[in-house]
Structure 1
Amino acid sequence: MKLDTVREDKAILNVTSRLADTFADIHTPEDVEAAVRVAREQFADDPVREYVPILVERIVRTQLTPAPDPVVPETLAEPTAEQRGSRPGVALPAAIAGVLVVATIATVVIVRNGDDVQASGITTVSGVIGSEKRAFFEDPDVQAALAKHGLAVQVDTAGSREIATTVDLAKYDFAFPSSTVAADRIQQGSADRPGVAGKKYAVFSSPMAIATYRPIANLLSATGIARQVNGVWYFDMRRYMDLAKAGWRWDDIRGNTTYPVRKRLLVTTTDPRTSNSAAMFLSIASYVANGQTVVQGTAEERKVLPYVTPLFVNQGYTDNSSEGPFEDYLSLGMGKTPLVCIYEAQFVDAAVRGKLKSDMVLMYPSPTVQSRHTLLSLKPNGDKLGELLSTDQELQQLAAQHGFRTADPDQFAKVVSAGKVPVAEQVVDVADLPTYDTLERLLNSVSKAYR
């Protein structure tokens, strides 16, 4: 309950600031704060809190927006500025203001059916998303921006490959996995699951990266795996795979006093059977194992599998989605996860929100791949959301604040500059992804090795 209160308080502060800017010419900040306070009090006893900031903003906007001049009996006419002794529009007579508030609240009807909540004028859109986008949709500013367009989004999270293969999509308006490949899988279906018709929206993107610690990066530079260029760290995938193939462990690194453990020298990934980030890492590894060439055909698939499969099965247990290993990285330190495959957006988002420790650094696999977070509409409301996320400037700016690269590179550049996050301005060494069918066969072959 405490977490909900903190989120709501933050959202109300943002609403108040936004409204104060909007109505600065006709209302003082004190008037806006008072109107927000009064509107919020209407929901003081409401146990369902997630919609309160949205409803408060709608109420106060309606209340403070000047109406066309009506013909009003002289006895009810608003006093002039001179009579009030204040600036125009600062306050309404209490009786009229009360009528406006009551009238506005009368238009905001909340209907409860079990756990479902819907506000009049707000359309609830439901979806299943990759866990790395959870923070974006939980952001009160994102929720307020969507509410301006009459939408409230409710999401469940799952691994992107789970979304594409096992999640029941019938109850959702949209699916939002972490790559075009996963969206293609949903559309095409399989022998045991029919395909789904729907429009794809490439909303934003994020290159795959590796989260590590400065002492580990310095240690790996002695092996030829890591190098730093203009303040940005890079991770040589070919050198890494050579050492992994040779069975290297951390304590095989000469002079290693930083991390002298007997664990295998491996990058922690998610489970390739369920998660897109692991599938993206497999795409990189297969490209490198195939001589810096995209894998094509069964002969090349058989050729690379002995090199790429151990990178996953030798890890032991792996999480189903990218949220798990990154949370371990943030909280448990390098003892558990010295190298973690993540989306660049996760690291940038954590940096912007002050979650990183001073020794945490980001490395880019060389080569890497771009993961294009692709929304697939399943019902008409999904189309409305996809179009909005793809084109609305405010939502695109908010996506950049959560670490995603959008169609406008300046948005991302401003975020990382303000947060002093050492990332690559342009990610140049990018491999192409294998075809949908090839990647599926590689994933299925790796999955069999687990058994």
Structure 2
Amino acid sequence: MKNIVIGVVALLVIVGGVIAVDRMGGDILKRADRPDDVTITALVGGEKIEFLRNEGILKILDQRYGITLDARKAGSIAMVTDKPAGDIDALWPSNEVAAEIYNNRHGKPVADELIFNSPIVMYTWKPIAEALIQQGIVEKQDNVFYVVDTQAMIQLVLAKKDWKEIGVKALWGKVAVQSTNPAKSNSGNMFSGLIANMLSGGRVAGLQDVATHGPTIQSFFKSLGHMEHSSGDIFRKYLDTGIGAKPIIVGYENQLVEFFIANERYRDLIRKEVITLYPQPTIWASHPVIALNTKGKRLIEALSDEEIQEIAWREHGFRSGLKDRLTDTSAVEIEGLPKTITSVMPMPGAEAMEKIIKLIDPDA
């Protein structure tokens, strides 16, 4: 009888251990197999800060890969322009041109790889979207607002048209599409590339195109006055200050998706007032991690984790960088979100973009 009791107790201990491991998702076994713990320091674009504060992401990095991430916010262009400090293991800007600029200035890194994508969009308000539809610049197709004549929108700014002239009676001043500083931040940088392409007849702008249209590009951005250095900062100010201060801004698609998911009390207001405009064509903001050493390379491997990629879309609106992954837009209860982004053009090359940066900010 005593042997039977001992056997039952032993069996319960074994079963309990199996249940405990199962409830932890197998992480006990994974921790035993993973590399040693390491702290990785990375400069990252401001639009990814909330993603890197996600407890689910931090848990996967820690328990599955042994990584504690020290993420420091920096402008995507600024981080690749200057030589990174010796304690920086990786850079995570928001476009492939930034990676090219790094290569041109500092040489090839240990590794670089795209992690996920987000198209460049414009954020505006319902009265402005309605006026732009009347002007033939914007069309609503399948509940998505598209800028079908990006060149015409650019010309509204260059011609210094008043808002009242295009039918927005409540606004004072000139039409403006506000962006971050192209010499500091990726969203502004990509927008300047899109403008260069549009001024070049809708083809990818080269060095000669930039020389030809440089004064016009300068004039466009000079008309904006002060420009923010962070995509996250300009988006927060857009929401905080409203239509009078920020009628139209340039940003990333994921910014509104992320805010919408995280802030339930604002969802009805966003549905009623906030409009996302998709330029046709737009430009992909593809987010490459640039590994400066072996620790940075380890971060690339961790961020490519399938579960991390799923959280990136489901909770932060980043479209997956994994090959052939389909984005389930029904998982995000926000209107005006296209299932696929089909009208996309490449950015000008790194040399052309560096010329544009110098035109806008000679000290860059």
Give the TM-score, by structure 1 length.
Answer: 0.70
C-alpha deviation, 1:169, in angstroms:
3.4
Give the TM-score, by structure 2 length.
Answer: 0.85
1:171 — aligned with what?
Answer: 87
Deviation readout 1:105-153 (Å, 9 max, x if unpaired): xxx9xxxxxxxxxxx9532111000010101111000001111221111
C-alpha deviation, 1:351, in angstroms:
2.0
Distance 1:327 1:80, change over 3 A: same
Deviation readout 1:154-196 (Å, 9 max, x if unpaired): 110111111011363321111101111111211221xxxx435
Contact kept, 8 Å, 1:269 with 1:341, in 2: the verdict is yes
2:23 — aligned with what?
Answer: none
Contact kept, 8 Å, 1:206 with 1:371, in 2: the verdict is yes
Distance 1:379 1:76, change over 3 A: farther
Contact kept, 8 Å, 2:120 with 2:252, in 1: the verdict is yes
C-alpha deviation, 1:408, in angstroms:
4.8
> Aligned residues, how many?
342
C-alpha deviation, 1:308, in angstroms:
2.2
Contact kept, 8 Å, 1:294 with 1:433, in 2: the verdict is yes
Q: Within 1, Cα distance between the matches of 2:101 and 2:324?
A: 32
2:259 — aligned with what?
Answer: 350
**Percentage identity across aligned positions?**
25
C-alpha deviation, 1:363, in angstroms:
0.7
C-alpha deviation, 1:306, in angstroms:
2.9
1:335 partnered with 2:248? no
Counterpart residue type for residue 372 of structure 1: S
| Pairing of 1:410-425 with structure 2 (within 5 A) | 413-425=327-339
Per chain length, whose mean CA-contact separation is higher, i.e. which structure has more relative contact order (CA < 8 Å, sep 6+)? Answer: 2
Contact kept, 8 Å, 1:173 with 1:377, in 2: the verdict is yes
2:224 — aligned with what?
Answer: 315
1:243 — aligned with what?
Answer: 156
Q: Which runs of 5+ in 1 are unaligned?
A: 1-72, 98-107, 109-119
Deviation readout 1:317-337 (Å, 9 max, x if unpaired): 111110111001122211111
C-alpha deviation, 1:307, in angstroms:
2.7
Q: Within 2, Cα distance between the matches of 1:324 and 1:436?
A: 25
What's the Cα RMSD here? 3.0
Contact kept, 8 Å, 2:237 with 2:246, in 1: the verdict is yes
Distance 1:437 1:81, change over 3 A: same
Counterpart residue type for residue 437 of structure 1: E
Distance 1:411 1:338, change over 3 A: farther
Query: What SS does structure 2 have at the residue aligned with 1:187?
Result: helix
Contact kept, 8 Å, 1:400 with 1:412, in 2: the verdict is no
1:141 partnered with 2:52? no
Deviation readout 1:342-398 (Å, 9 max, x if unpaired): 0111122122223552311211112211111010001111101102212x1111111
Distance 1:149 1:307, change over 3 A: same
C-alpha deviation, 1:207, in angstroms:
0.8
1:213 — aligned with what?
Answer: 125
2:114 — aligned with what?
Answer: 202
C-alpha deviation, 1:447, in angstroms:
1.8
Q: Which runs of 5+ in 2 are unaligned?
A: 21-30
Distance 1:410 1:350, change over 3 A: farther
Q: Within 2, Cα distance between the matches of 1:75 and 1:122?
A: 43
Q: Within 2, Cα distance between the matches of 1:91 and 1:423?
A: 43
Deviation readout 1:401-445 (Å, 9 max, x if unpaired): 211111358866325544234212222221221111111112211
Query: What SS does structure 2 have at the residue aligned with 1:346?
Result: helix
2:210 — aligned with what?
Answer: 301
Contact kept, 8 Å, 1:203 with 1:373, in 2: the verdict is yes
Query: What SS does structure 2 have at the residue aligned with 1:349?
Result: helix
Q: Within 2, Cα distance between the matches of 1:137 and 1:339?
A: 27
